[in-house]
Amino acid sequence: MNGFLMSTDRRPMLLMTPALLWLFGLMVVPCLLILVLAFFRRGIYGGIEYTWTFENIALVFDPLYFQIFMKSAGIAGLSAAIACVLGYAAAYAIAAMPRRHQPLLLFFAVLPFWSNYLVRTYAWIVLLNREGLIVNLARWIGYEGELPSMLYTEQAVVIGLVYNYLPFVILSCYAPLSRLSPEIAEASRDLGGSAWTTFRRVTLPMTVPGIATGFVFVFVLSIGNFVTPALLGGGQFQMIGNLVYAQFLTANDWPFGAALSMVLIAVMLGLLMGQAVVAERASGGKRAPDG
Amino acid sequence: MSDAFLSIKDVNKTFGSVHAVDGVSLDIHENEFFALLGASGSGKTTLLRMLAGFEDLSGGDVVLEGASIAALPPNRRPVNLMFQSYALFPHMTVAQNIAYGLEMDRLPRAEITSRVAEILEVIQLGHLAKRKPDQLSGGQKQRVALARALVKRPKVLLLDEPLGALDKKLRSEMQLELKRLQHEFGITFIVVTHDQEEALVMADRIAIMRDGGLLQVGTPQDIYEAPETRFAADFIGVMNFLPVTAGDQGFVARDGSVILADRVNGTGGAIAAVRPERLVLGDRGQNTLRGTVTNTAYHGLDLLLHITTRLSDTPVIARMTAEMADHLRPEMGQEITLSWSAKDTHIFPA
């Protein structure tokens, strides 16, 4: 098919130019600068010494730092997994509602986005605090014992990340679920599949791209996040985002900060490509190998 | 007739205040090719979906081989449905799509493989077994959907507008193909269609549906040659309608001539009807009409003459075989006399 963008007409290119220039100037160029920076040496009193080195990259894989990397990946992965389970369930429920109610329900699902990220995260401090709402609620119900502090723990960080990014997953899962023809599920039932088998073998595989997109989204946003770990983790531990932040703003080691960023970006790109492969497979893509 | 194979007993379906299916009773025989024929909104698809188990019955019962299936969920009914949209699983290959229903029956792997290969042979798509549905043409998808439903060897196969998405030539090929498969597999087919020609060609019996009810049930010949209502007469094939008034001498046409009729349906006859192919040239029958040729429509197989008469506001249509047309060479504006016999006249109430 000769699509709009494949036409020989140059005008579409003209329309794209401002956006491309913007992206190139403010995204591609800074990224390249950071990439280059990662291969320079740090000056003795801060600043940059312009001699080539692989030391910064090697240092990322030093156990001290690599452990932070792995821990960040763990927290990001856990948050993404929890968000996917909760988000898929919510999206499934919304898609099962009468069509005319769905826009309103989606609006409610993304409503938190309309408030400030910091405000939302501070709200969790109020909730999780030693004298916070959740503890008071437990007392009110009649719980007498000692309550462990929930604030400034790894769990608090996961809760904060899941809460903040859940709407992404709801939206990314809702898209394929709402496009699913009811007749596909009916066909499975007609051919002898129970409701559960139909979900497992038809609905779920056909909507996996939405889950993959949501997972990668939450993972990527979480692994680089430095606000939530700082506020809800209370400096008990560092995530990779905090480490990058510290290299640039307090340790004044820009080359190492750049190296950390580069490895992070590489991980993210890898994940995005994985997600693209999942999406391609599930769509029964036209480029599938021929029998 | 002995006990019916599939018995639909006073089945009702209401959506709010709308009666989608209104007191339908039907007995369908084993190995019968049965067509539910009706316009959209006639309730035919709702009835089919009730047989498949996708709509609850608001009233009545469905009995298959003596046992009620009305309360069974779709996956527990020995009935399969071929969807109008085909509803193939896009993430599975052709072979996986066809195997799905057999896997649900927990058949041994070897049997599944051989039955899938066998049915692929029947629909002549063995070479496309590893394709995904997106890589198939419309006709190929249609055959995969058919194979997927047939391979389970259901007691009844339900087909919802099975040929609706195909082009005309492929459609007439598939009409015969469906009939052949139905014979070969010895399965009862119930097909829903809005295409009267399709129903006439394929079905052993036809039920005409209108407003959720059955208008007439019979063989294609019954339905075509002896329609019981004006709607059925109009819906199936081409029919000429001539307004009449019932008088002492019989049925009087607009020009004052008396129309003789053997088939009088109901009382208070107000309209006479005759098929185009029953009109013959010249004054040779019991009923005669005269008029002017105002249009001709050439179909290759035959030639349809549109004749303006004093008998009705719309032109009367007469069919001439190619041979007759060669002989007569009808021209626009030509005066013509046609006649027909009383046995071919139908009379319907207003």
B78 near A CB under 8 A? no
The whole-angstrom distance between A209's CA and the closest CA on chain B is 12
Q: Does residue B213 sit in the same domain as residue B325?
A: no
Q: Cα–Cα distance between B202 and B185 in angstroms, integer?
A: 15
Q: How confident is the model at residue B329 (pLDDT cuts 50, 70, 90)?
A: confident
Q: Does residue B190 sit in the same domain as residue B324?
A: no
Name the residue among B75, B129, B149 with its Cβ closest to that of A194.
B75
Question: Which residues does chain A have within 8 Å of residue B53's beta carbon, measured at their own beta carbons?
Answer: 189-190
Taking CB atoms and an 8 Å limit, are B89 and A194 in contact across chains?
no
Q: Is the pLDDT of residue B71 over 70?
A: yes
Q: Which structural domain, as residue segments, surrounds residue A237?
A: 65-282
* Mean pLDDT (chain A, rounded): 87
Q: Cα–Cα distance between A269 and A265 in angstroms, integer?
A: 6
Last residue of a domain, one of B197, B225, B253: B225
SS3 B60: strand
Q: Does residue B250 sit in the same domain as residue B220?
A: no
Whether residue B197 is contained in a domain is answered as yes
Give the total number of structural domains in chain B. 2
Q: Does residue B95 sit in the same domain as residue B61?
A: yes
Q: Is the pLDDT of residue A285 over 60?
A: no
What type of residue is B16? Answer: G
Last residue of a domain, one of B179, B203, B225: B225
Q: Is the pLDDT of residue B2 over 70?
A: no
Element (H, E) at B246: strand B240-246
* CATH number of the structural domain spanning residue B134: 3.40.50.300
Whether residue B231 is contained in a domain is answered as no
Is ipTM over 0.95? no
Whether residue A165 is contained in a domain is answered as yes
Q: Does residue B208 sit in the same domain as residue B278?
A: no
Q: Does residue B23 sit in the same domain as residue B149?
A: yes
Nearest Cα neighbor of B24 from B159, B218, B232, B212 is B212
Name the residue among A181, A197, A291 with its Cβ closest to that of B87.
A181
Whether residue A55 is contained in a domain is answered as no
Query: pLDDT, tens digit, for every residue of B310-327?
Result: 999 999 999 988 888 888
Q: Cα–Cα distance between A212 and B227 in angstroms, integer?
A: 59
B129 near A CB under 8 A? yes
* CATH number of the structural domain spanning residue A234: 1.10.3720.10
- In chain B, the percentage of residues whose pLDDT exceeds 70 is 99
Nearest Cα neighbor of A125 from A134, A114, A116, A113 is A134
Q: Which structural domain, as residue segments, surrounds residue B84?
A: 6-225
Whether residue A58 is contained in a domain is answered as no
pLDDT of residue A129: 82
Name the residue among B52, B90, B93 with its Cβ closest to that of A190.
B52
Q: Which residue of B has its CA nearest to A189?
A: B75
* DSSP sequence for A240-260: HHHHHHHHHHTS--HHHHHHH
Question: Which residues does chain B have within 8 Å of residue A288's beta carbon, measured at their own beta carbons?
Answer: 132, 135
Q: How many CB pairs below 8 Å do chains A and B form together?
A: 85
pLDDT of residue A36: 92
For the whole model, what pTM was predicted? 0.83
SS3 B80: strand
Query: pLDDT, tens digit, for every residue of B237-246?
Result: 999 999 998 8
Give the total number of structural domains in chain A. 1
Q: Cα–Cα distance between B107 and B114 in angstroms, integer?
A: 11
Whether residue B234 is contained in a domain is answered as no
pLDDT of residue A174: 96
Residue to mutate among A191, A211, A278, A290, with most B CBs inside 10 A, is A191
Taking CB atoms and an 8 Å limit, are B148 and A184 in contact across chains?
no
Q: Does residue B159 sit in the same domain as residue B246?
A: no
Nearest Cα neighbor of B346 from B283, B271, B280 is B271
- Which whole number is the average pLDDT over A172-192? 95
Q: Does residue B110 sit in the same domain as residue B179?
A: yes
* CATH number of the structural domain spanning residue B335: 2.40.50.100
Whether residue A30 is contained in a domain is answered as no
CA distances B280 to A202, B289, B326, Å, are 60, 10, 15
Whether residue A126 is contained in a domain is answered as yes
